[in-house]
Amino acid sequence: MKAIHKKSLAVCAGLLMCFAAMGAYMKLPEIKELLSSLQSDSLFYNSTTSVDPFRKEELLPPVVKELNPSYTIKASLLPDQATITGTVTMTFDNPQTEKLYLYYYGYKWNNNKISAIRWKGKSMSYNRRDPVLVLDNPAKNETRTQLEVVFETKIPRGPTRFGVHEGIWTLTHWYPMLGAMDQQKRWYEPPQVIGYGDPYIYHYADYEVDMVAPSSFEWVTSWGRGKKSSNEGGRSTYHFTGKKLLNFTMVGSPLYKVETVKISPNLTVDIGSTDVAHLAKLKEIATQVLPIYSKLMGELPYPRIGIAETGDRTVYAMEYANMAIIAKHMFNGNQVEHWLPHELAHLWWYNSVENIEPYTGWMDEGLVEASVTFYYRERFGEKAAAKILAEYQADANKLAKAYPYGKLSNHLTQFKDYYEFDWTWYSNAALLFDNLRKQLGDQLFFDFLKRVQSNYQHKVIGPEHLDQALGQTLGAEAQYFVPNVHKQNQKSFIPIAAEYYVDIIIGQTHFYPATRGRIRNQVVYLPLRETLEQLGFKVTSDQANRTIRAESKRNVIVFHEKSDRYVLNGIERKMPVPLLEWHARSLFPLALLNEGLGYRVTYQKEKRTVTIQ
Ligand SMILES: [Zn+2]
């Protein structure tokens, strides 16, 4: 508990109830008050008052603008040639920009071909600088546009993350996709593959996929095993439908055994492997870990997911839309016990809520590494979780020593080497989340994770969205992720800073101003314009003199910017603290109302509620 500042005692004295530091009430150790960096210089701002009690706090817009694409893909897998030929028809909200971007992820050496990009049957010219295809927007006035892209994708024969190895066809990013843009309609430029990390930038889309492949194939995909109809020559068409997916991934093999397991009434998992014992192990882990994640982080918004084992020495383990992919050699030394829970946590962090992989990869990687410890704690107890956290800590210690000036905010291409990348985005980021859990306690922490899921489902977000959800969880304006992203590795994590909101009742009625009343340095502040207007004042501002004038039938008040002085009916008076400025709004200390204007004011600390009569 913090000592109450002298200045705030003056405020408290005028109230019926004084209140202690909020930390004690919320059982939140070490939550510091919000840094005043949020303050803005301008006193004058035309705010709009909202008095709608059902108003939900406006969520920050996602970092990828939603163009609501839907894909219809008709494709054919030719195993002899290790090729997929096909046509993807993409329909999307036209951003009405000069250029349109498509992404065709793949290996530069792989010689993937685009034979045509068409708009209304007309061939379009385009520039290609992998993985980006740029074309002129053919119809800038159209609100929704459709492009047809004819492609031929070569499938590498080898243990690459996209390829065929030991008879298992891992088809990821096998078709051209619509590009992604920010809210200012600037297209993102995904970086080249650099040997580690995920350089992909996505948006959510709906899918209809027809894949023609040998009838002997069994599939595990982003949306079930497909509806199979036989064609001639031992081939079948596999039809799939999917909603709100980052990509459509398919892993199939004539050697696959696939088991479909119902985890809960709303969640079914297909597990594919060529090895019966491995399949049993994958099933055993999945049936344990998925209910734990659902309990801690909320139900997945998808009914069907897949786990696919790929050939020996295939690149590690990977997350794709509704898919966890794990290579056979991950069974050596029981690495599967860590990495399957890791990839399954990506179903929440990546799949259901996404960040920009090459820029803020710490968000999903850190949170899934932390999720592994949540699972271990639930299933095997505190010691088992602590063991993994100690490994992350050892990495973080090496990181602080070897890369003291590095930061979480590094982009994928800005790390000096693999170690800096791995220790930063995996181990250190996991500790960032676990550090938050320790500050909040489990109850609030998992409420926070659930809120991130429910707020931003099917959206691509950044660290500011995490802070927003944290604030909502605490009933406060909160900062934790944004400041820590810019912290140097050699420094410790910056604790949560929170400025708690207060509820306002005027007379018998709840009052919901657009700018929330709040507590800073144990002083209750209310939004000046909105509160005084609600109390019947006419409020005007004088930009030249930096003053605000509030006038009612009985009183005329003139406030000065950032000042504790004000003039009431011609007589200068003083508030215990100056006006607070927050996001270009002015807030006044509560004492003004009772000491200055004679209102009866009570403050209930338990409920953080101000009543004005
Ligand atoms: Zn991962």
What would the pLDDT profile of 173-217 be if each residue is shown by its tens digit? 999 999 999 999 999 999 988 888 999 999 999 999 999 999 999
Can you tell me whether residue 582 is helix, strand or coil?
A: strand
307 Cα: distance to centroid of ligand 1 (angstroms): 14
Q: Residue 110 has what pLDDT?
A: 75
- Within a domain: 338: no
224 Cα: distance to centroid of ligand 1 (angstroms): 22
C-alpha 402/C-alpha 111 separation (Å) is: 39
Checking if the pLDDT of 66 tops 50, the result is yes
Q: Which two tokens stand for residue 209?
A: 């996929």
pLDDT band at 34 (very low <50, low <70, confident <90, very high): low
Q: Residue 300 has what pLDDT?
A: 97
One-letter identity of residue 52: D
- Within a domain: 208: yes
- Within a domain: 391: yes
The pLDDT tens digits of the residues spanning 445-467 come to 999 999 999 999 999 999 999 99
pLDDT cut 90: percent of the chain above it = 82
567 Cα: distance to centroid of ligand 1 (angstroms): 60
Q: Which two tokens stand for residue 594?
A: 């009772």
pLDDT band at 103 (very low <50, low <70, confident <90, very high): very high
- Residues with Cβ within 8 Å of residue 277, at least 6 apart in sequence: none
Q: Are residues 473 and 524 in the same domain?
A: no
Q: Residue 16 has what pLDDT?
A: 29
Q: At 575, which CATH number? A: 3.30.457.10
Q: Are residues 461 and 513 in the same domain?
A: no
* Widest pairwise Cα distance in the chain: 96
Q: Are residues 162 and 246 in the same domain?
A: yes
319 Cα: distance to centroid of ligand 1 (angstroms): 6
Q: Are residues 126 and 165 in the same domain?
A: yes
One-letter identity of residue 481: F
Checking if the pLDDT of 8 tops 50, the result is no
Instruction: List C-alpha distances in Å: 63 to 203, 325, 458.
Output: 10, 27, 12
The boundaries of the domain holding residue 424 are: 362-486
346 Cα: distance to centroid of ligand 1 (angstroms): 7
**56 vs 480, more confident:** 480
Q: Are residues 391 and 434 in the same domain?
A: yes
Checking if the pLDDT of 530 tops 90, the result is yes
37 Cα: distance to centroid of ligand 1 (angstroms): 34
251 Cα: distance to centroid of ligand 1 (angstroms): 18
What is the arithmetic mean of pLDDT over 412-429? Answer: 97
Q: Are residues 201 and 249 in the same domain?
A: yes
Tell me if 221 sits within 8 A of 240, measured CB to CB.
yes
What is the arithmetic mean of pLDDT over 25-53? Answer: 40
Instruction: List C-alpha distances in Å: 593 to 448, 535, 565, 613.
Output: 35, 10, 14, 10
Q: Residue 19 has what pLDDT?
A: 31
User: Among 292, 325, 349, where does a domain finish?
Assistant: 292
pLDDT cut 70: percent of the chain above it = 91
What is the arithmetic mean of pLDDT over 275-295? Answer: 98
Checking if the pLDDT of 64 tops 50, the result is yes
Place of tokens 């899918």: 207
- Within a domain: 327: no
Q: Are residues 211 and 242 in the same domain?
A: yes
Q: Which two tokens stand for residue 91?
A: 């329909």
The pLDDT tens digits of the residues spanning 121-145 come to 999 999 999 899 999 999 999 999 9
Checking if the pLDDT of 35 tops 90, the result is no
Checking if the pLDDT of 384 tops 80, the result is yes
408 Cα: distance to centroid of ligand 1 (angstroms): 16
C-alpha 357/C-alpha 200 separation (Å) is: 6
Q: Give how many domains the chain has, as a whole number.
A: 3
161 Cα: distance to centroid of ligand 1 (angstroms): 13
Q: Residue 545 has what pLDDT?
A: 85
What is the arithmetic mean of pLDDT over 275-281? Answer: 97
Q: Are residues 467 and 555 in the same domain?
A: no
Q: Residue 192 has what pLDDT?
A: 86
Checking if the pLDDT of 47 tops 50, the result is no
Checking if the pLDDT of 433 tops 60, the result is yes
327 Cα: distance to centroid of ligand 1 (angstroms): 14
The pLDDT tens digits of the residues spanning 481-507 come to 999 999 999 999 999 999 899 999 999
The pLDDT tens digits of the residues spanning 147-167 come to 999 999 999 999 988 999 999
Q: Residue 605 has what pLDDT?
A: 87
Instruction: List C-alpha distances in Å: 315 to 159, 282, 328, 331, 419.
Output: 6, 18, 10, 14, 17
Checking if the pLDDT of 4 tops 50, the result is no
What is the arithmetic mean of pLDDT over 362-386? Answer: 98
- Within a domain: 582: yes
The pLDDT tens digits of the residues spanning 319-337 come to 999 999 999 999 999 999 9
Place of tokens 């009543």: 611
Q: Are residues 80 and 122 in the same domain?
A: yes
343 Cα: distance to centroid of ligand 1 (angstroms): 6
Q: Are residues 482 and 509 in the same domain?
A: no
- Within a domain: 15: no
Mean pLDDT in the chain?
A: 90
Q: Residue 501 has what pLDDT?
A: 92
453 Cα: distance to centroid of ligand 1 (angstroms): 18
User: Among 264, 292, 320, where does a domain finish?
Assistant: 292
C-alpha 536/C-alpha 517 separation (Å) is: 18
Q: Are residues 448 and 551 in the same domain?
A: no
369 Cα: distance to centroid of ligand 1 (angstroms): 8
One-letter identity of residue 223: W
Checking if the pLDDT of 109 tops 50, the result is yes
105 Cα: distance to centroid of ligand 1 (angstroms): 19
481 Cα: distance to centroid of ligand 1 (angstroms): 19
User: Among 263, 292, 321, where does a domain finish?
Assistant: 292
Q: At 113, which CATH number? A: 2.60.40.1730
Q: At 394, which CATH number? A: 1.10.390.10
Question: pTM above 0.95?
Answer: no
Q: Residue 521 has what pLDDT?
A: 86
pLDDT band at 31 (very low <50, low <70, confident <90, very high): low
- Within a domain: 44: no
Ion ligand 1: residues, Cβ under 5 Å: 365
Q: Are residues 462 and 556 in the same domain?
A: no
- Within a domain: 16: no
Q: Residue 50 has what pLDDT?
A: 35
Q: Which of 11-20, 235-244, 536-545 has the highest mean pLDDT?
A: 235-244
Among the residue ranges 31-40, 394-403, 456-465, the one predicted with the least confidence is 31-40
